[in-house]
Amino acid sequence: MPAPAVPKDLAECVQRALEEDIGSGDVTALLVPAPQQALARVISREPAIIAGRPWVDAVFASLSAGIVLEWLVDEGESVTADQVLFRVRGPARALLTAERTALNFLQTLSGTATAVRSYVNAVAGTGASIVDTRKTLPGLRNAQKYAVVCGGGINHRIGLYDGILIKENHIAAAGGIEQAIRNARALNAGIPLMTEAETLVEASSALAADVDLLLVDDFSPEDLLEAVCLTRAHRAQGGSTLIEYSGGTTLDVVRGIAETGVDRISVGAITKHLRAVDLSMRFMS
């Protein structure tokens, strides 16, 4: 699986992280003689899906042009416990200073990709896709969205600017779902028009308007099946609306949701309930 496009804010993200960690200087690295060279390797202490190579590369490159990094795994690859991910050689001081920032990116993004892959595997064969949300770590939105794709998921809108998603508060403020959709159409924004529905009545209104995506929120199993039937009938008559389920989905229930015939399942947990992968960097003699 090819890696997704690297986000445009990668360099800025790495610079912020390095400034946060280094501050006025890495005083502990001064214990090592400046000319000393070193070779280190990074190991995964547990099974994982790897994501974040470009961030790691950028961190080490920012510290020294003399650092050479050799990756032994591909982006999106599944690794086992105690597997070597990469070897890195260069000035010892620079390696020591880069270590934590580089591993923070790799463990965080690999944790995201690993969570996504578990959901993707759970729905395999159903035709449903696993989709992320905007429930991401502040400042790491684009990085986590990248990791979602590495894990086999797909991105919902990146932010508030690249898709219209009418939610319950928009519906209430606009005076109803039909009015909210009319207002959205009037914008002529040239971006996807999606709407959330909390009832079958709202779902029917969204389908009548042929929105790009109908997001059914926390529907009962019976209502979800009915919404899928309505969506399929709509498409059989020439409509193009996709249906997505949202609402506290866990690994225990995701396959059952997928088997109803929904096109997509959005899961906030894959980016907000983050468990970083356990990684370790060790110098080699």
Do residue 115 and residue 190 come from a single domain? Answer: no
Residue 44 inside a domain? The answer is: yes
Average pLDDT over residues 135-155: 97
Give me the catalytic one of 217, 244, 263, 264: 217
How many other β-carbons are positioned within 10 Å of the β-carbon of residue 94? 21
Do residue 278 and residue 267 come from a single domain? Answer: no
- The rounded distance, in Å, linking the Cα atoms of 153 and 111 is 14
Do residue 112 and residue 142 come from a single domain? Answer: no
Do residue 98 and residue 35 come from a single domain? Answer: yes
Mean pLDDT estimate for the chain: 97
Predicted confidence band of residue 190 (pLDDT cuts 50, 70, 90): very high
Do residue 219 and residue 241 come from a single domain? Answer: yes
Do residue 105 and residue 240 come from a single domain? Answer: no
From 95, 85, 134, 97, select the one nearest 17 (Cα to Cα).
Answer: 97
- The rounded distance, in Å, linking the Cα atoms of 86 and 126 is 35
Give the CATH number, domain containing residue 115: 3.90.1170.20
Pairing of strands 264-266, 279-284: unpaired
Our count of domains for the chain comes to: 2
Give me the catalytic one of 41, 134, 167, 255: 167
Do residue 239 and residue 209 come from a single domain? Answer: yes
So what's the pLDDT on residue 1? Answer: 62
Give me the catalytic one of 41, 89, 135, 235: 135
Record the tokens describing residue 200, joined without a space: 């079958």
> Residue 164 is part of which domain span?
125-272
Give me the catalytic one of 87, 100, 134, 272: 100
- The rounded distance, in Å, linking the Cα atoms of 181 and 174 is 9
Known catalytic residue: 278? Answer: no
Residue 84 inside a domain? The answer is: yes
Give me the catalytic one of 132, 196, 198, 244: 196
So what's the pLDDT on residue 93? Answer: 98
- Answer yes or no: is pLDDT of 13 > 70: yes
Known catalytic residue: 162? Answer: no
Do residue 17 and residue 103 come from a single domain? Answer: yes
Helix (H) or strand (E) holding 83: strand 83-91
Do residue 162 and residue 101 come from a single domain? Answer: no
- Answer yes or no: is pLDDT of 123 > 70: yes
Task: Give per-residue pLDDT as tens, 200-237.
Answer: 999 999 999 999 999 999 999 999 999 999 999 999 99
Do residue 136 and residue 233 come from a single domain? Answer: yes
Do residue 136 and residue 257 come from a single domain? Answer: yes
Percent of the chain with pLDDT over 90: 98
Residue 3 inside a domain? The answer is: no
Residue 4 inside a domain? The answer is: no
Average pLDDT over residues 158-164: 96
Query: Whole-model pTM?
Result: 0.95
Known catalytic residue: 167? Answer: yes
